[in-house]
Chains A and B, each alone.
Chain A
């Protein structure tokens, strides 16, 4: 569309539109840029409040302090454990549950779907869930984090919709050839489902990476804490643990830049992989949207 064809009003509209979008971009990026700049700036300018956008001076002391801290790496390891084990369970459970529900000829399909969908609108709530986990003797175990989160109903519906889109004729042909349902799922459906599997892995993995509340409820041992609990202590509760005590000899500024360095260290993995995976994320939301 060339600019000349546009009326004056429409041209004004586009200028306004592009300008607002630019503002949105800036407002979204600014906190990240500021935190990065603050984490690598010298203590002096940071303390005087001179860092606004770009770093003033350059030093990596904050990162060195973070690297020396064992607690953060222990919780980093725990989070990776929760992500890997949790996501594996998620994908397995979601797949084997979504497949039968996607079979249009399955007689109990609608009944089971209602049984499942009801849980999206009504649930037991915090306390009964907590008591259940306790009665199952899962409290303070790693399984308390991954088992109650084994299936997300929303993701289940997304995967079911995707399976429903696979042509019925493939299933019929395989049945004639004598394939069992399990074989059809593994040999025919799964190879065709790589896009939706990518979406599921990403949704579940990001969910595990970011979750803190189940650990807050169910985990007491520090050596099982995920990264997010550690971050909460350092960033929000301002807990003076070893990492900050070392540097904190009356110098709040240094502690501040260490906090910013911790934000960078714990966010970078997700921010790095995100742009490459974006097309899958968006696809997943669309599948869900069309169905939902």
Chain B
């Protein structure tokens, strides 16, 4: 190690006269040469990110063009904000915004607190075997594919499925759940909770295990019961984690798990189920309206980006917790 340092310093020393002219390039070149092995390892990854992550970002310019696959991206004519205007004036614009926002808001109201509550409850279990079984089972649905989850749902709530059998045995009428717009949101949220509440609780359980046990002892000495210990020790202890997760949730407020919606929705439920991404998929990819689809997608990405920056800023102001 010392030998290397010595070599570097002598080579720098001998070049010190020329340094004023080419010092900048020389120094960078030396660093680059010394790190060439690291750069070589990194190269495939950088190329991958350039192609598969930044490549589509280059493709975003077709949202300002009248893209035709035959002319290619460069030769297609510019049209300014035509596609954006078309989208904003479209009869579906407000419906899409409303559906996307409502699904996200319901998801945050109902889906976000449940993993936290579950983590508190699991954390209080005193018997290790019970805790382990509960954890193993509650993480399980995370590994079941969305297709299977929705497949189960479709079969359970079908007119001949178990839910309708129950309704009928209680004297009710058959409900066609999958084609009723008013049922789409509850079903979406419930399946989401079933699938991910356990898995999402891991991060809070990890945070809870990091709380200093002395804090609990002090609280017990002060006469705090279990509920008060959770409220005054556990909750503040994991607040940074909660805030980070909330920032992430708010940052994606205008995007939603569209892969699941594409599995769940149908023309009868578009009224409540159609969100920006599913619309982009239908019009842009399936329908081949490339420029229009790209413009709608870009609108969504920009709003999302703004949301995450704002959420991050607010969080940093009020709690010194932030993503960057």
Contact = CB atoms under 8 A, between A and B. Distances in A.
Contacts of A128: 55-60, 62, 294, 297
Interface string B193-233: 01000110011001100000000000000000111000000
A25 B262 contact: no
Size range of the chain B interface in the assembly: 35 or more
Given A132-B55, A181-B38, A235-B151, A126 B281 contact: yes
A252 B155 CA distance: 12
A125 B31 contact: no
Interface string A198-232: 00000000100111110011000000000010011
Interface string B138-155: 111101111110111011
Interface string A239-279: 00000000000001100100110010011001100110010
Nearest to B260: A213
B41 A182 contact: yes
Nearest to B36: A181
Contacts of B56: 123-125, 128-129, 132
Interface in A82-121: 93, 96-97, 99-101, 103, 106-108, 112, 115-117, 119, 121
A127 B124 contact: no
Interface stretch (B13-21, B98-106, B129-137): B129-137
B134 A236 contact: no
A58 interface: no
Nearest to B34: A107
Given A49-B162, A93-B45, A235 B148 contact: yes
B156 interface: yes
Interface string B1-22: 1001000000000000000000
A158 interface: no
B165 interface: yes
A119 B41 contact: no
Contact of A35 (B57, B152, B293, B304): B152
A285 B293 contact: no
B147 A231 contact: yes
A131 interface: yes
Contacts of A270: 143-144
Interface stretch (B46-54, B86-94, B180-188, B267-275): B46-54
A232 B263 contact: yes
A10 B151 contact: no
B45 A96 contact: yes
Given A9-B225, A25-B138, A125-B297, A97 B42 contact: yes
A271 B143 contact: yes
A124 B48 contact: no
Contacts of B304: 121-122
B96 interface: no
Contact of A13 (B54, B136, B225): B225
A49 B169 contact: yes
B35 A107 contact: yes
A175 B35 CA distance: 13
Contacts of B128: none
B140 A231 contact: no
A194 interface: no
A266 B165 CA distance: 26
Contact of B44 (A49, A96, A125, A292): A96
Given A119-B53, A125-B294, A126-B297, A112 B281 contact: no
A282 interface: yes
Contacts of A278: 135-136, 139
Given A34-B162, A235-B151, A286-B206, A131 B37 contact: no
A119 B48 CA distance: 12
B282 to A, nearest CB: 10
Nearest to B294: A127
A148 B294 contact: no
A130 B58 CA distance: 13
Given A108-B39, A231-B147, A282-B139, 14 more contacts: A10-B225, A17-B125, A18-B125, A24-B118, A34-B162, A100-B42, A106-B38, A122-B305, A128-B55, A129-B59, A236-B263, A267-B144, A267-B145, A274-B140
Interface of A: 1, 7, 9-10, 13-14, 17-18, 20-21, 24-25, 27-29, 31, 34-35, 49, 51-52, 93, 96-97, 99-101, 103, 106-108, 112, 115-117, 119, 121-132, 136, 147-148, 150-151, 172, 175-176, 180-182, 185, 206, 209-213, 216-217, 228, 231-232, 234-236, 252-253, 256, 259-260, 263, 266-267, 270-271, 274-275, 278, 281-282, 285-286, 289-290, 292
Interface of B: 1, 4, 31, 35, 37-39, 41-42, 44-46, 48-49, 51-60, 62, 69, 118, 121-122, 124-126, 130, 133-141, 143-148, 150-152, 154-156, 160, 162, 165, 168-169, 194, 198-199, 202-203, 206-207, 225-227, 241, 244, 251, 259, 262-263, 277, 280-281, 284-285, 290, 293-294, 297-298, 300-301, 304-305, 308, 324
30 contacts: A7-B225, A9-B227, A13-B225, A24-B118, A29-B137, A52-B162, A93-B44, A96-B44, A100-B38, A108-B35, A115-B46, A119-B54, A121-B304, A124-B297, A125-B294, A127-B285, A127-B290, A131-B59, A131-B69, A132-B55, A132-B56, A181-B37, A212-B259, A213-B262, A235-B147, A253-B160, A278-B136, A282-B202, A289-B203, A290-B206
Closest 6 CB pairs of A and B: A124-B56, A128-B59, A235-B151, A97-B45, A125-B297, A210-B145
